[in-house]
Structure formats: structure tokens, C-alpha cells
């Protein structure tokens, strides 16, 4: 029996981002759900810290007439999660900066998830255009959260530039393949200890989200894995529990992996031949 105090994942260990407290380390997208009602129920079940919204060049009136947005807005008014507009679909720095300014005006937030796609097949970010857009948006007063690859140099430059968080992919968007390059991601976490790092894209299972948080990543962002599940609401709950479990495991301190077997039953007090056998 453990008589100590267990780590409190949500209340005390909240994520600090750009001087603000984010209630949950699970962030969700708001697209591709079977209906606005299901989206709202899934978000209520998961209680995410952030919910991403794609502007897609809508006018203010088009946004107001959108059922999807109305359901999301109603939910955000009654919960602690915050909206995170993104620049999905942009292919240049100019395009992303323009869309970010539109998002700030329409959504009333300085937070922006920055996406600048460089390849249509893999949806891999364009590193040069991404850096250029981030620099301009930071100068314009945005809190920038760029979606990037797991390249150490790129992530380091985005962090040093002043981005509130850096969001490397686990795998290409929508694939559900999980953490494809765990060695690189682990190195990224070790080399950038002060950065807020969020795994963005490619997660398909709650166990994959838990693995990312156990590695020390600060949060995970996903959409397809919940929206396209047979039961999005139940899947949202599963991801929330996995993220909380991963964070508690990280705080508890994972055992160090070993190459050689080590007996879990002590040999002290056993007859000498048992002690000898256990070391053969």
C-alpha cells in the first residue's frame, strides 16, 4: 500500500503556456465529426485544453451562420478549454500571415496554430516558409504554435525565436501511425528542456498519446483519431484518461530500462545454492 500523496495531474500540474494556465494536456481538433452535436459531446467528454478551428477564409457572417461554429462557441463559453485557430491549407508565409490576422479579428484571440504545408502528399510543413511566417506573426503580437516536423534544428530555431510552443508531428496528418521516430522525439525532448513541446498529428490510439506524455512531451493534439472513431465520445474519454495516466507516470518517474534481466524477488535469506543459481 502507498501512503504518500499521489501526483495531482490536472489541478496542480496544469500546463503553463505564454503566462497562462491550460487546463488539460489533451488538445482536440473540431473537424470531420459525424455532426456538430457529436463534436460537442466529444469535447465535453474530453475537456481538452485547446480546441483547434480552421478559418478557411470565412467571412464573419458565414461564421455566424455556421452550425459547427455555434455548437463549438456554446461549449467554449461553459468550459475551460480555449479556441486555437489554425492556418490549415496555407502553402506560403504570406498566405499564413494573412489568414492569421483574419483569425485574430474573427475569433478575438492572439493564439494561432501556424501551418504552412510544403508537400501535398505527406502534408509535411515547409521549414523555410514556416520560419518566415512565425517571425512575422511574433512581431505582430501573436502567440505562435507552429506545426513542424521533428527536425531538431527547425524546432530549436522556432523555440529560440519565441514561439509559445513547438508542435512536431508524430506521423503525417491523419495516418494514425503514432510516434514513428521515437528516438528523434526523445532527443528533441532532451535537447530542448525549456521548450513547450506538443505532439501534433499522426496519433491514432490512446496508447500512443500516453507514450508521448510518458516521454515528457507537454501535450498532444489530435483530431482524426477521435472524430473518425466508431464512437467519438467514448474515444475522446479514452484519450483523456490516457493523457492523464501518461502524465502521472512521467511525474512518478519511470524505471530505467536495462539490457539484462534482474530478479524481482530478492535472494537475501535464501539457501546459498538458490543465491548462486540466481546469478548463473
DSSP codes of every residue in 133-155: HHHHHHHTT-EEEEEE-S-HHHH
pTM of the model: 0.84
Taking the mean position of all CA atoms in its chain, how far away is CA 1?
A: 34
Q: Is 170 annotated as a binding residue?
A: no
Instruction: Provide the pLDDT for residue 257.
Output: 77
Cβ count within 10 A of residue 231: 12
CA atoms within 13 A on the CB side of 202: 23
Using CA atoms, how far apart are residues 228 and 114, in angstroms rounded to an integer? Answer: 24
pLDDT at 57: 47
Report whether 11 belongs to an annotated binding site: no
Consult the annotation and say whether 224 binds a ligand: yes
Report the SS3 class of residue 222: strand
**How many Å apart are CA 217 and CA 196, to the nearest integer?**
8
Q: In tens digits, what is the pLDDT along the chain, a chain of 280 residues?
A: 333 444 444 445 789 999 999 989 999 998 899 988 898 899 989 999 999 988 764 544 445 555 556 666 665 655 567 889 999 999 999 999 999 999 998 888 999 999 999 998 899 999 999 999 999 999 999 999 999 999 999 999 999 999 999 999 999 999 999 999 999 999 999 999 999 999 999 999 999 999 999 999 999 999 999 999 999 999 999 999 999 999 999 999 988 877 778 776 666 666 655 555 555 5
Residue of 86, 17, 82, 14 whose CA lies nearest to 43: 82
Query: 241 an active-site residue?
Result: no
Measured between alpha carbons, how far is 59 from 76 in angstroms, rounded to an integer? 21
Instruction: Write the Ramachandran bin of 114: left for phi over 0, alpha for psi from -120 to 50, otherwise beta.
Output: beta
Task: Give which of 28, 30, 68, 31 is closest to 46, Cα–Cα.
Answer: 28
The response to whether 195 counts as a known ligand-binding position is: no
Contact call for residues 229 and 235 (beta carbons, < 8 A): yes
108 marked among binding-site residues? no
CATH class of 15-252: alpha beta
Q: Which of 268, 270, 232, 189 is nearest to 44 (CA)?
A: 232
Residue 71 CA to residue 38 CA, distance in Å, equals 10
Query: Who contacts 253 (Cβ-Cβ below 8 Å, separation ≥6)?
Result: none
CB 240 within 8 A of CB 219: no
Q: What pLDDT sits at residue 113? A: 97
Q: How far apart are CA 266 and CA 194, in angstroms?
A: 40
Residue 119: strand, helix, or coil: coil
Active-site residue (options: 113, 205, 228, 241): 113
Domain boundaries, the chain: 15-252
- Spatial contact of 230 and 36, defined as CB atoms under 8 Å apart: no
- Pairing state of beta strands 198-200 and 82-86? unpaired
pLDDT of residue 7: 41
Q: What is the pLDDT of residue 2?
A: 35
- Residue pair 166/195 in contact by the 8 Å Cβ criterion: yes
Amino acid at each position: 500500500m502507498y501512503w504518500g500523496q499521489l501526483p495531482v495531474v490536472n489541478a496542480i500540474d496544469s500546463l503553463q503556456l505564454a503566462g497562462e494556465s491550460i487546463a488539460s494536456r489533451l488538445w482536440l481538433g473540431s473537424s470531420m465529426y459525424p455532426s456538430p452535436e457529436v463534436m460537442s459531446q466529444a469535447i465535453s467528454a474530453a475537456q481538452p485544453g485547446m480546441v483547434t478551428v480552421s478559418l478557411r477564409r470565412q467571412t464573419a457572417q458565414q461564421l455566424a451562420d455556421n452550425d459547427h461554429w455555434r455548437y463549438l462557441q456554446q461549449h467554449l463559453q461553459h468550459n475551460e478549454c480555449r479556441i486555437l485557430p489554425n492556418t490549415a491549407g496555407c502553402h506560403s508565409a504570406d498566405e499564413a500571415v494573412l489568414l492569421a490576422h483574419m483569425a485574430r479579428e474573427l475569433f478575438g484571440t492572439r493564439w494561432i496554430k501556424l501551418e504552412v504545408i510544403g508537400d501535398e502528399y505527406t502534408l509535411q510543413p515547409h521549414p523555410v516558409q514556416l520560419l518566415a511566417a512565425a517571425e512575422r506573426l511574433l512581431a505582430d503580437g501573436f502567440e505562435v504554435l507552429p506545426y513542424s516536423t521533428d527536425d531538431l534544428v527547425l524546432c530549436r530555431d522556432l523555440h529560440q525565436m519565441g514561439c509559445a510552443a513547438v508542435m512536431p508531428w508524430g506521423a503525417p496528418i491523419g495516418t494514425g501511425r503514432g510516434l514513428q521516430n521515437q528516438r528523434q522525439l526523445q532527443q528533441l525532448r532532451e535537447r530542448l528542456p525549456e521548450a513547450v513541446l506538443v505532439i501534433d498529428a499522426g496519433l491514432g490510439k490512446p496508447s500512443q498519446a500516453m507514450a508521448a506524455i510518458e516521454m515528457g512531451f507537454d501535450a498532444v493534439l489530435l483530431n482524426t483519431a477521435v472524430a473518425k472513431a466508431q464512437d467519438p465520445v467514448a474515444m475522446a474519454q479514452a484519450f483523456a484518461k490516457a493523457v492523464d495516466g501518461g502524465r502521472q507516470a512521467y511525474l512518478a518517474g519511470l524505471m530505467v530500462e536495462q539490457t539484462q534481466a534482474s530478479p524481482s524477488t530478492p535472494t537475501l535469506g535464501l539457501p546459498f545454492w538458490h543465491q548462486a543459481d540466481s546469478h548463473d
